[in-house]
Structure 1
Amino acid sequence: MNNKCKILVLSDVDNSTSEILKKGVDLANVVQAEIDFFCVKKPTDVVEKESQLSAMRSINKKFIETDNQIKKIIDTISNEKDFKISHKISFGNLKDEITNHLKETKPDIVLLGKRKSKVFSFFGDNLIDLILKEFNGTILIVSEENLLEAKEEISLGLLNNVNLSTNRFMETLVSYSNKPLKSFQINTVKEKVSNPKNTIEFVFEEGDNAIKNLSNYLSKNKIDLLFLNREKETNSKIGSLVNSLNCSLMVSN
Protein backbone atom coordinates (compact mmCIF):
# COMPACT_ATOMS: atom_id res chain seq x y z
CA MET A 1 0.00 0.00 0.00
CA ASN A 2 1.29 3.46 -0.93
CA ASN A 3 0.99 5.74 2.10
CA LYS A 4 2.66 8.75 0.49
CA CYS A 5 0.64 11.92 0.32
CA LYS A 6 -0.09 13.46 -3.07
CA ILE A 7 0.78 16.90 -4.41
CA LEU A 8 -1.13 18.07 -7.48
CA VAL A 9 0.65 20.79 -9.45
CA LEU A 10 -1.69 22.81 -11.67
CA SER A 11 0.08 24.83 -14.32
CA ASP A 12 0.16 25.76 -17.96
CA VAL A 13 3.36 25.07 -19.90
CA ASP A 14 5.40 28.27 -20.04
CA ASN A 15 8.59 29.84 -18.69
CA SER A 16 7.40 29.44 -15.09
CA THR A 17 6.60 25.71 -15.24
CA SER A 18 10.07 24.44 -14.39
CA GLU A 19 10.39 26.68 -11.32
CA ILE A 20 6.94 25.72 -10.04
CA LEU A 21 7.73 22.02 -10.39
CA LYS A 22 11.11 22.41 -8.66
CA LYS A 23 9.40 24.01 -5.67
CA GLY A 24 6.87 21.20 -5.71
CA VAL A 25 9.69 18.65 -5.56
CA ASP A 26 11.36 20.52 -2.70
CA LEU A 27 8.12 20.34 -0.72
CA ALA A 28 7.51 16.72 -1.70
CA ASN A 29 10.91 15.68 -0.36
CA VAL A 30 10.07 17.22 3.00
CA VAL A 31 6.54 15.85 3.45
CA GLN A 32 7.22 12.50 1.77
CA ALA A 33 4.89 13.06 -1.16
CA GLU A 34 4.51 12.11 -4.80
CA ILE A 35 3.81 14.70 -7.51
CA ASP A 36 1.17 14.71 -10.23
CA PHE A 37 1.45 17.49 -12.84
CA PHE A 38 -1.81 18.42 -14.57
CA CYS A 39 -2.15 20.75 -17.55
CA VAL A 40 -5.44 21.75 -19.20
CA LYS A 41 -5.79 23.23 -22.67
CA LYS A 42 -8.93 24.84 -24.05
CA PRO A 43 -9.83 23.51 -27.51
CA THR A 44 -10.66 27.08 -28.56
CA ASP A 45 -6.99 28.01 -27.99
CA VAL A 46 -5.99 25.40 -30.55
CA VAL A 47 -8.88 25.23 -33.01
CA GLU A 48 -10.41 28.15 -34.86
CA LYS A 49 -12.97 27.81 -37.67
CA GLU A 50 -12.08 24.41 -39.06
CA SER A 51 -13.82 21.23 -40.09
CA GLN A 52 -14.21 18.51 -37.48
CA LEU A 53 -11.41 16.47 -39.05
CA SER A 54 -9.05 19.44 -39.19
CA ALA A 55 -9.97 20.31 -35.61
CA MET A 56 -9.08 16.82 -34.40
CA ARG A 57 -5.76 16.96 -36.24
CA SER A 58 -4.97 20.34 -34.67
CA ILE A 59 -5.80 19.06 -31.18
CA ASN A 60 -3.73 15.90 -31.67
CA LYS A 61 -0.79 17.96 -32.92
CA LYS A 62 -1.05 20.34 -29.96
CA PHE A 63 -1.34 17.40 -27.56
CA ILE A 64 1.90 15.88 -28.86
CA GLU A 65 3.70 19.24 -28.76
CA THR A 66 2.56 19.95 -25.19
CA ASP A 67 3.33 16.42 -24.02
CA ASN A 68 6.86 16.66 -25.42
CA GLN A 69 7.36 20.03 -23.73
CA ILE A 70 6.22 18.67 -20.38
CA LYS A 71 8.31 15.50 -20.70
CA LYS A 72 11.41 17.59 -21.43
CA ILE A 73 10.84 19.75 -18.35
CA ILE A 74 10.04 16.76 -16.13
CA ASP A 75 13.03 14.73 -17.36
CA THR A 76 15.40 17.61 -16.59
CA ILE A 77 14.02 18.07 -13.06
CA SER A 78 13.79 14.32 -12.39
CA ASN A 79 17.45 13.84 -13.32
CA GLU A 80 18.55 16.91 -11.38
CA LYS A 81 16.64 16.09 -8.21
CA ASP A 82 16.31 12.29 -8.57
CA PHE A 83 12.53 12.48 -8.28
CA LYS A 84 9.78 10.85 -10.34
CA ILE A 85 6.93 13.09 -11.55
CA SER A 86 3.77 11.83 -13.26
CA HIS A 87 1.82 14.06 -15.62
CA LYS A 88 -1.41 14.34 -17.56
CA ILE A 89 -2.72 16.70 -20.25
CA SER A 90 -6.38 17.30 -20.92
CA PHE A 91 -8.32 19.25 -23.55
CA GLY A 92 -11.73 20.56 -22.57
CA ASN A 93 -13.61 22.93 -20.27
CA LEU A 94 -10.97 24.09 -17.82
CA LYS A 95 -13.13 24.22 -14.70
CA ASP A 96 -14.72 20.84 -15.44
CA GLU A 97 -11.41 19.15 -16.21
CA ILE A 98 -9.75 20.44 -13.03
CA THR A 99 -12.77 19.57 -10.87
CA ASN A 100 -12.89 16.05 -12.29
CA HIS A 101 -9.15 15.56 -11.84
CA LEU A 102 -9.39 16.65 -8.20
CA LYS A 103 -12.14 14.09 -7.60
CA GLU A 104 -10.25 11.32 -9.39
CA THR A 105 -6.82 11.81 -7.83
CA LYS A 106 -7.81 13.09 -4.35
CA PRO A 107 -4.59 15.05 -3.68
CA ASP A 108 -3.52 16.17 -0.21
CA ILE A 109 -1.98 19.42 -1.48
CA VAL A 110 -2.78 21.50 -4.56
CA LEU A 111 0.11 23.67 -5.70
CA LEU A 112 -0.30 26.78 -7.86
CA GLY A 113 2.19 29.41 -8.94
CA LYS A 114 2.12 33.18 -8.77
CA ARG A 115 4.34 35.90 -10.20
CA LYS A 116 4.45 39.44 -8.82
CA SER A 117 1.04 39.37 -7.15
CA LYS A 118 -0.71 37.53 -9.97
CA VAL A 119 -1.80 33.92 -9.76
CA PHE A 120 -0.77 31.84 -12.74
CA SER A 121 -4.17 30.98 -14.08
CA PHE A 122 -5.44 29.13 -17.09
CA PHE A 123 -8.65 31.14 -17.10
CA GLY A 124 -8.20 34.42 -15.28
CA ASP A 125 -8.55 35.18 -11.60
CA ASN A 126 -11.09 32.46 -10.82
CA LEU A 127 -8.61 29.62 -10.37
CA ILE A 128 -8.06 30.16 -6.64
CA ASP A 129 -11.83 30.54 -6.16
CA LEU A 130 -12.42 27.25 -7.96
CA ILE A 131 -9.82 25.40 -5.88
CA LEU A 132 -11.18 26.82 -2.61
CA LYS A 133 -14.67 25.72 -3.61
CA GLU A 134 -13.87 22.24 -4.95
CA PHE A 135 -10.90 21.19 -2.79
CA ASN A 136 -10.87 20.76 0.98
CA GLY A 137 -7.18 20.00 1.44
CA THR A 138 -4.11 22.20 1.80
CA ILE A 139 -3.46 24.77 -0.94
CA LEU A 140 0.00 26.14 -1.65
CA ILE A 141 0.46 29.21 -3.85
CA VAL A 142 4.16 29.62 -4.56
CA SER A 143 5.92 32.85 -5.41
CA GLU A 144 8.81 32.89 -7.88
CA GLU A 145 10.80 35.14 -5.61
CA ASN A 146 10.67 33.26 -2.30
CA LEU A 147 12.52 30.35 -0.80
CA LEU A 148 10.40 27.24 -0.36
CA GLU A 149 12.94 24.58 0.53
CA ALA A 150 12.62 23.36 4.11
CA LYS A 151 15.98 24.64 5.29
CA GLU A 152 17.10 26.53 8.34
CA GLU A 153 17.01 29.79 6.38
CA ILE A 154 13.30 29.63 5.51
CA SER A 155 11.32 32.44 7.16
CA LEU A 156 7.73 31.55 8.12
CA GLY A 157 4.74 33.64 9.17
CA LEU A 158 1.22 33.10 10.52
CA LEU A 159 -1.78 35.25 9.62
CA ASN A 160 -4.37 35.62 12.38
CA ASN A 161 -5.33 32.37 14.08
CA VAL A 162 -3.50 29.39 12.61
CA ASN A 163 -3.33 26.25 14.73
CA LEU A 164 -0.22 24.51 13.42
CA SER A 165 -1.07 21.26 15.19
CA THR A 166 -4.08 20.75 12.89
CA ASN A 167 -1.98 20.72 9.70
CA ARG A 168 0.92 18.28 9.49
CA PHE A 169 2.46 19.99 6.47
CA MET A 170 2.70 23.31 8.29
CA GLU A 171 4.06 21.60 11.39
CA THR A 172 6.73 19.84 9.34
CA LEU A 173 7.88 23.04 7.63
CA VAL A 174 8.05 24.90 10.96
CA SER A 175 10.22 22.14 12.43
CA TYR A 176 12.93 22.80 9.83
CA SER A 177 13.35 26.53 10.36
CA ASN A 178 15.65 27.95 13.02
CA LYS A 179 14.27 31.46 12.51
CA PRO A 180 11.66 32.80 14.96
CA LEU A 181 8.09 32.27 13.77
CA LYS A 182 6.31 35.58 13.11
CA SER A 183 2.61 36.09 13.73
CA PHE A 184 0.68 38.84 11.94
CA GLN A 185 -2.67 39.68 13.53
CA ILE A 186 -5.39 41.97 12.22
CA ASN A 187 -7.18 43.00 15.41
CA THR A 188 -10.63 41.77 14.39
CA VAL A 189 -9.60 38.31 15.59
CA LYS A 190 -11.88 37.29 18.48
CA GLU A 191 -10.44 33.96 19.53
CA LYS A 192 -6.69 33.83 19.80
CA VAL A 193 -4.76 30.61 19.28
CA SER A 194 -1.67 30.09 21.43
CA ASN A 195 1.39 30.51 19.21
CA PRO A 196 4.61 28.48 19.61
CA LYS A 197 7.22 29.72 22.05
CA ASN A 198 9.45 32.61 20.87
CA THR A 199 6.93 33.70 18.21
CA ILE A 200 7.27 37.39 17.33
CA GLU A 201 3.87 39.08 17.02
CA PHE A 202 2.73 42.04 14.92
CA VAL A 203 -0.76 43.53 15.29
CA PHE A 204 -2.49 45.67 12.65
CA GLU A 205 -5.55 47.88 12.87
CA GLU A 206 -8.42 46.75 10.66
CA GLY A 207 -9.12 49.14 7.80
CA ASP A 208 -8.60 49.89 4.13
CA ASN A 209 -4.81 49.83 4.52
CA ALA A 210 -4.59 46.63 6.58
CA ILE A 211 -3.51 44.36 3.72
CA LYS A 212 -1.12 46.99 2.34
CA ASN A 213 0.49 47.38 5.77
CA LEU A 214 0.65 43.61 6.15
CA SER A 215 2.34 43.30 2.75
CA ASN A 216 4.95 45.89 3.75
CA TYR A 217 5.75 44.08 7.01
CA LEU A 218 5.99 40.72 5.25
CA SER A 219 8.54 42.24 2.86
CA LYS A 220 10.50 43.96 5.64
CA ASN A 221 10.67 40.70 7.59
CA LYS A 222 11.54 38.72 4.44
CA ILE A 223 8.77 36.17 4.98
CA ASP A 224 9.10 33.30 2.49
CA LEU A 225 5.87 31.48 3.36
CA LEU A 226 2.74 32.72 5.15
CA PHE A 227 0.25 30.29 6.70
CA LEU A 228 -3.50 31.03 6.50
CA ASN A 229 -6.50 29.24 7.99
CA ARG A 230 -9.34 28.95 5.49
CA GLU A 231 -11.92 28.52 8.27
CA LYS A 232 -11.03 31.98 9.61
CA GLU A 233 -11.03 33.79 6.26
CA THR A 234 -13.63 34.11 3.50
CA ASN A 235 -12.78 32.85 0.01
CA SER A 236 -12.91 36.38 -1.36
CA LYS A 237 -10.49 37.60 1.32
CA ILE A 238 -8.09 34.74 0.61
CA GLY A 239 -8.22 35.62 -3.09
CA SER A 240 -7.46 39.24 -2.25
CA LEU A 241 -4.52 38.22 -0.04
CA VAL A 242 -3.13 35.93 -2.74
CA ASN A 243 -3.15 38.77 -5.27
CA SER A 244 -1.82 41.40 -2.84
CA LEU A 245 1.02 39.67 -0.98
CA ASN A 246 4.44 39.08 -2.48
CA CYS A 247 5.23 35.82 -0.75
CA SER A 248 4.19 32.19 -0.98
CA LEU A 249 1.04 31.23 0.91
CA MET A 250 -0.17 27.96 2.40
CA VAL A 251 -3.91 27.74 3.10
CA SER A 252 -4.82 25.10 5.67
CA ASN A 253 -7.69 22.67 5.29
Structure 2
Amino acid sequence: MYKKILVPIDVLEDALTQKVIPHVECLAKLSNAQVIFFHTLPVASAIVNAYSFGFDEFKDQATIQTEQWLNSLIDSINLPRENLSFSITFGNPRDEILRLAEEIEPDLIIIGSRRPNISTHLLGSNASGVVRGAKTSVLVVR
Protein backbone atom coordinates (compact mmCIF):
# COMPACT_ATOMS: atom_id res chain seq x y z
CA MET A 1 0.00 0.00 0.00
CA TYR A 2 2.63 2.55 1.10
CA LYS A 3 6.20 2.24 -0.09
CA LYS A 4 7.53 5.54 1.28
CA ILE A 5 6.22 7.57 4.22
CA LEU A 6 7.41 11.08 5.09
CA VAL A 7 7.08 12.02 8.77
CA PRO A 8 7.79 15.69 9.55
CA ILE A 9 8.44 16.17 13.27
CA ASP A 10 9.45 18.94 15.63
CA VAL A 11 12.14 17.76 18.03
CA LEU A 12 10.79 20.24 20.60
CA GLU A 13 7.32 18.64 20.49
CA ASP A 14 8.10 15.23 21.99
CA ALA A 15 4.53 14.59 23.21
CA LEU A 16 3.16 15.22 19.72
CA THR A 17 5.86 13.03 18.17
CA GLN A 18 4.92 10.19 20.53
CA LYS A 19 1.31 10.41 19.29
CA VAL A 20 2.49 10.08 15.68
CA ILE A 21 4.81 7.08 16.17
CA PRO A 22 2.12 4.36 16.62
CA HIS A 23 0.54 5.42 13.32
CA VAL A 24 3.92 5.35 11.60
CA GLU A 25 4.74 1.89 12.97
CA CYS A 26 1.37 0.42 12.06
CA LEU A 27 1.20 1.77 8.50
CA ALA A 28 4.87 1.09 7.72
CA LYS A 29 4.58 -2.54 8.92
CA LEU A 30 1.64 -3.21 6.60
CA SER A 31 3.78 -2.92 3.48
CA ASN A 32 7.38 -2.78 4.74
CA ALA A 33 7.51 0.92 3.84
CA GLN A 34 10.53 3.19 4.00
CA VAL A 35 10.05 5.92 6.62
CA ILE A 36 11.82 9.27 6.36
CA PHE A 37 11.67 11.49 9.45
CA PHE A 38 12.18 15.17 8.73
CA HIS A 39 12.97 18.15 10.93
CA THR A 40 13.38 21.78 9.94
CA LEU A 41 15.59 24.02 12.03
CA PRO A 42 14.35 27.64 12.19
CA VAL A 43 16.09 30.16 9.95
CA ALA A 44 15.56 32.97 12.48
CA SER A 45 17.72 31.15 15.02
CA ALA A 46 20.39 30.56 12.43
CA ILE A 47 20.49 34.23 11.43
CA VAL A 48 20.58 35.54 15.01
CA ASN A 49 23.38 33.17 15.99
CA ALA A 50 25.28 33.63 12.74
CA TYR A 51 26.43 37.07 13.85
CA SER A 52 27.51 35.84 17.28
CA PHE A 53 29.15 32.51 16.55
CA GLY A 54 29.61 32.25 12.82
CA PHE A 55 26.90 30.49 10.79
CA ASP A 56 28.84 27.26 10.23
CA GLU A 57 29.45 26.77 13.93
CA PHE A 58 25.78 27.28 14.80
CA LYS A 59 24.60 25.06 12.00
CA ASP A 60 26.95 22.29 13.07
CA GLN A 61 25.84 22.43 16.72
CA ALA A 62 22.13 22.58 15.89
CA THR A 63 22.47 19.79 13.37
CA ILE A 64 24.46 17.58 15.76
CA GLN A 65 21.87 17.95 18.53
CA THR A 66 19.00 17.27 16.13
CA GLU A 67 20.77 14.24 14.66
CA GLN A 68 21.29 12.82 18.15
CA TRP A 69 17.61 13.30 18.96
CA LEU A 70 16.50 11.72 15.67
CA ASN A 71 18.85 8.75 16.10
CA SER A 72 17.39 8.17 19.58
CA LEU A 73 13.89 8.35 18.13
CA ILE A 74 14.72 5.88 15.36
CA ASP A 75 16.30 3.49 17.89
CA SER A 76 13.01 3.47 19.84
CA ILE A 77 10.81 2.59 16.86
CA ASN A 78 9.64 -0.96 16.29
CA LEU A 79 10.55 -1.15 12.60
CA PRO A 80 13.60 -2.53 10.75
CA ARG A 81 16.45 -0.02 11.05
CA GLU A 82 17.20 -0.29 7.32
CA ASN A 83 13.70 1.10 6.60
CA LEU A 84 14.29 4.24 8.70
CA SER A 85 16.14 7.43 7.83
CA PHE A 86 16.01 11.13 8.54
CA SER A 87 16.69 14.48 6.96
CA ILE A 88 17.34 17.90 8.49
CA THR A 89 17.25 21.34 6.91
CA PHE A 90 16.97 25.04 7.79
CA GLY A 91 13.89 26.98 6.70
CA ASN A 92 10.17 27.39 7.05
CA PRO A 93 8.75 24.00 8.14
CA ARG A 94 5.73 24.01 5.81
CA ASP A 95 7.76 25.07 2.78
CA GLU A 96 10.57 22.62 3.48
CA ILE A 97 8.15 19.72 4.05
CA LEU A 98 6.43 20.42 0.74
CA ARG A 99 9.80 20.81 -1.04
CA LEU A 100 11.04 17.48 0.29
CA ALA A 101 7.75 15.78 -0.58
CA GLU A 102 8.11 17.02 -4.17
CA GLU A 103 11.65 15.67 -4.26
CA ILE A 104 11.15 12.19 -2.75
CA GLU A 105 7.50 11.62 -3.77
CA PRO A 106 6.22 9.78 -0.68
CA ASP A 107 2.98 7.81 -0.85
CA LEU A 108 1.90 9.32 2.48
CA ILE A 109 2.82 12.17 4.79
CA ILE A 110 2.06 11.64 8.49
CA ILE A 111 2.16 14.86 10.50
CA GLY A 112 1.16 15.74 14.05
CA SER A 113 -0.95 18.75 14.92
CA ARG A 114 -1.96 20.34 18.20
CA ARG A 115 -5.46 21.58 18.87
CA PRO A 116 -5.96 24.92 17.10
CA ASN A 117 -5.38 28.06 19.14
CA ILE A 118 -5.44 31.76 18.37
CA SER A 119 -2.03 31.75 16.68
CA THR A 120 -2.98 28.91 14.33
CA HIS A 121 -6.23 30.68 13.46
CA LEU A 122 -4.34 33.84 12.59
CA LEU A 123 -1.24 32.35 10.99
CA GLY A 124 -2.29 28.81 10.08
CA SER A 125 -0.54 25.68 11.28
CA ASN A 126 2.20 23.77 9.51
CA ALA A 127 -0.10 20.76 9.29
CA SER A 128 -2.86 22.74 7.57
CA GLY A 129 -0.32 24.23 5.16
CA VAL A 130 0.98 20.76 4.31
CA VAL A 131 -2.56 19.43 3.79
CA ARG A 132 -3.34 22.34 1.43
CA GLY A 133 -0.07 22.12 -0.50
CA ALA A 134 0.74 18.42 -0.67
CA LYS A 135 0.23 16.44 -3.85
CA THR A 136 -0.08 13.19 -1.90
CA SER A 137 -2.23 11.88 0.95
CA VAL A 138 -1.66 13.44 4.37
CA LEU A 139 -2.60 11.85 7.69
CA VAL A 140 -2.92 14.46 10.45
CA VAL A 141 -2.59 13.02 13.97
CA ARG A 142 -3.89 14.85 17.05
Answer 1 or 2: which has greater helix percent: 2
**Are 1:83 and 2:72 an aligned pair?**
no
Name the structure, 1 or 2, with higher relative contact order (CA <8 Å, separation 6+).
Answer: 2
Q: Runs (4+) of structure 1 moved beyond 4 Å? A: none
Identity of aligned residues (%): 24
Contact 1:37 1:86 in 2 (8 A): yes
Whole-angstrom distance in 1 between the partners of 2:112 and 2:21: 9
User: Aligned to 1:51, what secondary structure does the other structure show?
Assistant: helix
Q: How does 1:57-136 map to 2 (within 5 A)?
A: 57-77=57-77, 81-84=78-81, 85-115=84-114, 117-118=115-116, 125-136=124-135
**Are 1:15 and 2:17 an aligned pair?**
no
Q: TM-score, normalised by structure 1?
A: 0.46
Q: How does 1:1-253 map to 2 (within 5 A)?
A: 5-13=3-11, 14-16=13-15, 17-48=17-48, 50-51=50-51, 54-77=54-77, 81-84=78-81, 85-115=84-114, 117-118=115-116, 125-143=124-142
Offset of 1:70 from its aligned partner? 0.7
Counterpart of 1:43 in structure 2: which amino acid?
V
The change in CA–CA distance for 1:132 and 1:66 in structure 2 (over 3 A counts) is: same
Whole-angstrom distance in 1 between the partners of 2:49 and 2:135: 39
Residue 172 of structure 1 corresponds to none
Whole-angstrom distance in 1 between the partners of 2:24 and 2:88: 18
Q: Give the RMSD, CA atoms, in angstroms.
A: 2.6
Counterpart of 2:5 in structure 1: which amino acid?
I
The change in CA–CA distance for 1:49 and 1:114 in structure 2 (over 3 A counts) is: closer
Whole-angstrom distance in 2 between the partners of 1:49 and 1:137: 36
Offset of 1:52 from its aligned partner? 7.7
Runs of at least 5 residues in structure 2 that lack an aligned partner in the other structure? none
Runs of at least 5 residues in structure 1 that lack an aligned partner in the other structure? 144-253
State how many pairs are aligned: 134
Larger radius of gyration: 1
Whole-angstrom distance in 2 between the partners of 1:63 and 1:107: 24
Offset of 1:47 from its aligned partner? 4.4
User: Aligned to 2:54, what secondary structure does the other structure show?
Assistant: helix
